[in-house]
Amino acid sequence: MDERIAKFREFKKRGERISVLTAYDYPSARLLTESGVDVLLIGDSLGMVVLGYPDTTLVTMEEMLHHTRAVARGVKDGGRSPLILADLCIGSADTPAEAVHNSMLLLEAGAHAVKIEGGASHVAQIKALAEEEIPVMAHIGMQPQQVRVEGGYKIKGKTAEQARALVADARAVESAGAFGVLLELVVPEVAAEITAAVSIPTIGIGSGTDCDGQVLVLHDLVGLFPWFKPKFATQRADLAAEIRRATAEYIGATKGG
């Protein structure tokens, strides 16, 4: 097993929480690496917070590869070694063969592992990746690539039937060979149940505090996307305000000669 994946799995055994943040470019990857984050995720959320798309359904493999290369350069120069995880974007893993092909491209671009949206529905893809020794994390609960089909970002696990299906999803991806499972917008009690039910680490977003780790979109953490703020994200800096202030100061200084 890849040393980084073994380290990732050790966190859960030791009871140490895992910190995951998204990064999409060289400076953010380098700063977060220097700060000691455990995992950097080149999420397809880059479509929204970097490229200005309305959701993640327009992101292409070409864009994922471009940003993965930039992040890999930042990690190298940051001098530490977080796990670099890259998203398989919409349409890139519809079949096991596509999943393997596109994951190889992400690994060549500098990722150490890939993330795929889907649970029991994607067991064939996860098995194919595991057979090729490509480390894969599954993403269950709210799957943003389904946002148009579902008509919004809806909380998952509210009914007993949904909760059972989520636990089954997590068990299915673990047996298929996933090394971790991301839980998005899962009712906290259900996220806790899943975390106890599987031996692989769970990484939560908007899913309560009982997961093995937490992931946040960097822009939500540092206030760099002020036009939309998810309710569950704690903003710890206000970079948008700083950029506006510095820009106004610069414009004033320039106009004033």
Residue 87 interacts with ligand KIV (CB under 6 A)? yes
Catalytic residue among 63, 117, 184, 193: 184
* Cα 168 to the center of its chain, rounded Å: 21
* C-alpha atoms less than 13 angstroms from C-alpha of 212 in its C-beta half-sphere: 25
β pairing state of 39-42 and 18-22 = parallel
44 binds ligand KIV (CB under 6 A): yes
Interface pick for ligand KIV out of 19, 22, 145, 214 (rule CB under 6 A): 22
Site string for ligand KIV, 194-233 (x = CB under 6 A): -----------x---------x-x----------------
Q: Of 176-195, which residues contact ligand KIV (CB under 6 A)?
A: 184
Binding segment toward ligand KIV, per CB under 6 A, in 41-49, 96-104, 193-201, 221-229: 41-49
Q: Which stretch binds ligand KIV (CB under 6 A): 11-19, 36-44, 99-107, 232-240?
A: 36-44
Which CB atom, from 33 or from 214, has the smaller least distance to ligand KIV?
214
CB of 249 to ligand KIV, least distance (A): 32
Segment contacting ligand KIV by CB under 6 A, of 10-18, 42-50, 159-167, 235-243: 42-50
Is 184 among the catalytic positions?
yes
Task: From 132, 142, 145, select the one nearest 47 (Cα to Cα).
Answer: 145
24's CB contacts (< 8 A; 6+ apart) are 42, 43, 46, 49, 50, 67, 70, 71, 218
Instruction: Map residue 116 onto helix, strand or coil.
Output: strand
End-to-end CA distance of the chain: 61
Nearest to 213 by CA among 49, 1, 21: 21
Nearer to ligand KIV, 45 or 202 (CB): 45
Separation in Å, CA 21 to CA 11, 125, 144? 16, 25, 17
Give the closest residue to 104 by CA, choosing from 137, 66, 135, 67: 135
Give yes or no for residue 45 binding ligand KIV (CB under 6 A): yes
Task: Name the residue number minimizing CB distance to ligand KIV.
Answer: 43
**# of chain residues touching ligand KIV (CB under 6 A):** 11
Query: Contact residues for ligand KIV (CB under 6 A)?
Result: 22, 41, 43-45, 87, 139, 184, 205, 215, 217
Active site residues: 184
